Amino acid sequence: MKTEQTAPHALKSAPTTKSQREKTKFHQTSSGKDNKMHSKSGELLKTRVSRYMSYLLRHNPENLKMDKKGFVNLKELLNKVRQRFPVNENFIREIVQKSDKKHFEIVGDKIRALYGHTIPVEIQLEEDKTVKKLYHGTTEDAASKILENGLKPMKRKWVHLSPTVKIAKEVGLRRTREPVILEIDAEAARKNKIRFYKATEKVYLCKYVPSKYIQCLTNKERK
């Protein structure tokens, strides 16, 4: 009669004592936490690099050579960014490609910001002639001024608008915990020669919106 023999490696594969099981569980848990921490640190780095790129490409290129359309050389931008952050070109490209709001675009060996500039650049924008409603998320104090004086670009070149209430709320949450959502009657404004431009799927631009085309949504309408 044959007797079954356990392979030597099988005896080592499973922890047999409570201390061994706890040790194994600890390492598994630690590994999971390390992965989460690595993921969070990676996202934080992307956010910080993206903000620095926005500063350079929208507001102050410093010693970068920028053409009239807002483009700078990608390699030169990378060298500038690497003075602060340990990144490579693929990291920059990933920020551009995976950004929900499409802050930047790369064309050939050049990169630029698509909107949000405070410095003069020439960016060809396509006028949108179909959107009927647009939205703007802001603070309560700012909303009261907007309802009285209209939406102005302030320090920027354009007023930034959102195509949905949800996106407008996300924008407003950057400034306040309880954003006020303003609705813009783009259809009526367009009839009075107010032009709207589509910068990305989530960002629309215009030069100015008079207060008569703006109303404040109620809490129920915001949801």
> The CATH number of the domain where 62 resides is what?
1.10.10.970
Boundary-marking domain end, from 113, 137, 162: 113
Task: Let me know whether 171 and 217 are in one domain.
Answer: yes
Beta-bridge partners for 141: none
Task: Let me know whether 141 and 98 are in one domain.
Answer: no
Name the DSSP class of 161. E
pLDDT grade for 98, boundaries at 50, 70 and 90: confident
pLDDT grade for 164, boundaries at 50, 70 and 90: very high
Give the Cα separation of 85 and 218 in Å (integer): 43
Task: Let me know whether 95 and 42 are in one domain.
Answer: yes
Q: What is the CATH number of the domain that holds 159?
A: 3.20.170.30
Task: Give tens-digit pLDDT for 190-209.
Answer: 999 999 999 988 999 999 99
DSSP class per residue in 108-124: TTEEEESS--SS-----
Decide: pTM greater than 0.75: no
Task: Let me know whether 187 and 130 are in one domain.
Answer: yes
Boundary-marking domain end, from 113, 148, 168: 113
Q: Average pLDDT in the 48-71 region? A: 96
Tally of domains within the chain: 2
Structure tokens at 169: 């709320």
Task: Give tens-digit pLDDT for 145-160.
Answer: 999 999 999 888 899 9
Between 170 and 40, the more confident residue is 170
Task: Let me know whether 130 and 218 are in one domain.
Answer: yes
Residue 16 has what pLDDT? 57
Pairing of strands 159-161, 204-206: antiparallel
Task: Let me know whether 145 and 176 are in one domain.
Answer: yes
1 assigned to some structural domain: no
Residue 72 sits in which domain range? 26-113
Task: Let me know whether 159 and 72 are in one domain.
Answer: no
Task: Let me know whether 66 and 90 are in one domain.
Answer: yes
